[in-house]
Structure 1
Amino acid sequence: MSGIDIHLLRHGITDAEGRLIGRSDAAPLPEGVDACIRNGAQVPVEALVHSGLARARVPAERIAAGAGLVARQDARWRELDFGAWDGMRFDAIDAPALAAFQADPARHVPPGGEGWPELVARVRAALADIDRPTLVVTHGGAMRAAIAGLCAIDFPQLWNIALPHAALLSLRVWPGTPRIGQIIGLVT
């Protein structure tokens, strides 16, 4: 049985660099959009999905237009909800609380935010709905959640995979419950 190639493209740089942005709708910078187009336009896909946030939507719509596709929104591909920390500069967040969150986001959730298991579950559900070669323009946390859900890699090992802005992560997934997959490429 052949697998389905799913390509995950992290949004480009935004006007909110240096801040913890999850659900905040930071504006994409032109050079970030261009970097996404360079990496995302090269993959052969039949569908294009984005998280709905401008930093993912804008490059997705540009890539889709060039490929003759329609970019579809799926909010399950949004970044982790950082709750009260969302939009804050890293140095403005209580350092011990931030360190605990970064070490174990399942047990140390930002105030009013979302835990790692919830992100993995929603991304896993989004992956289950993909049935053809697809490009998803998304966020670093959602990309790591996809790896966790498909490849059984979890914290802290996921932080060993560099996913800079405009990184393109290619996965091959196989049908079934649960879906399993493997990393087949990474362009940074």
Structure 2
Amino acid sequence: MSAFPLHLMRHGAPQLAGRLLGHLDAPPEAEGIALCVERARGLDFARVVTSDLARARAPGAIIAAERGVGHGVDSRWRELHFGRWEGADPATLPSADLARFWDDPDGFPPPEGESWTDLCGRIRDGLGDLGEPVLVICHAGAMRAALAVLCGFDVRQGWAVDLPYGAVLSLQVWPGEQPSAQITGLMP
């Protein structure tokens, strides 16, 4: 299989922005949807794949319809599951626990939540089903996991990449058993 362009877009602002939404299905704000639709207009892709959560799925459906391309929904592109922290304002969580998580999300995952390795495994599996120019609308954690899988980023390098709502990370992907990629653009 030959290399293909992959555009990873973080969903626009959802209701309850700033919280650890994880797998919570917080609806998107209208402005967030509009930002994603606008950002997609300059991208080249043959289909759209989205997380199954409304904040990613809603703009994806509009973008696919506007472009006349297929739209697939894939739950593997969800955000990290924050377990008991789902929906929490980070300021209300024990700061030492949150700091340990940010420093080592495998050693200290959220209580009853998903580890970084598990998230990367889901994303690796999702990447394996791509193979043509594609726009994936997902979440910041999923985008950082893709950087870990494709470019070898460690956790600290991933956290250092600024991915505000509507950010687009473009890569050239070489698929295979050990997929790899080159970053070709970042639109924060």
TM-score tier by shorter-chain length is over 0.9
The CA distance in 2 between the partners of 1:145 and 1:22, in whole Å, is: 14
**Corresponding residue number in structure 2 for 1:74:** 74
RMSD: 1.1
Over the matched positions of the two proteins, sequence identity in percent amounts to 45
Counterpart of 1:58?
Answer: 58
1:100 aligns with 2:96: no
- TM-score with structure 1 length normalisation? 0.97
State the TM-score, normalizing by the size of structure 2: 0.97
Unaligned runs of at least 5 residues, structure 2: none
Q: Distance in 2 between matches of 1:87 and 1:11?
A: 17
SS in 1 for 2:62: helix
CA distance in 1, matches of 2:4, 2:105: 30
Structure 1 equivalent of residue 123 of structure 2: 123
**1: CA distance between counterparts of 2:108 and 2:126?**
24
C-alpha distance in 1, partners of 2:130/2:18? Answer: 33
Q: Give 3-state SS (helix, strand or coil) of 2:117's partner.
A: helix
Question: In the alignment, what sits opposite 2:141?
Answer: 141
- The one-letter code sitting in structure 1 at the alignment partner of 2:96 is P
Deviations 1:92-144 (A, max 9, x none): 21111011101110110111100000001110111111010000000000000
Q: Deviating runs (4+, > 3 A) in structure 1?
A: none
Q: CA deviation at 1:2?
A: 4.8
Quote the Cα distance in structure 1 between the aligned partners of 2:41 and 2:80. Answer: 26
Q: Deviations over 1:20-69 (max 9, x none)?
A: 11000011101111111111232111111000100000100010010002
Deviation at 1:18, TM superposition (A): 2.5
Q: CA offset at residue 77 of structure 1?
A: 0.2
2:157 paired residue number: 157
Aligned residue type for 2:89: R
CA distance in 1, matches of 2:61, 2:180: 29
Secondary structure of the corresponding residue to residue 5 of structure 2: strand
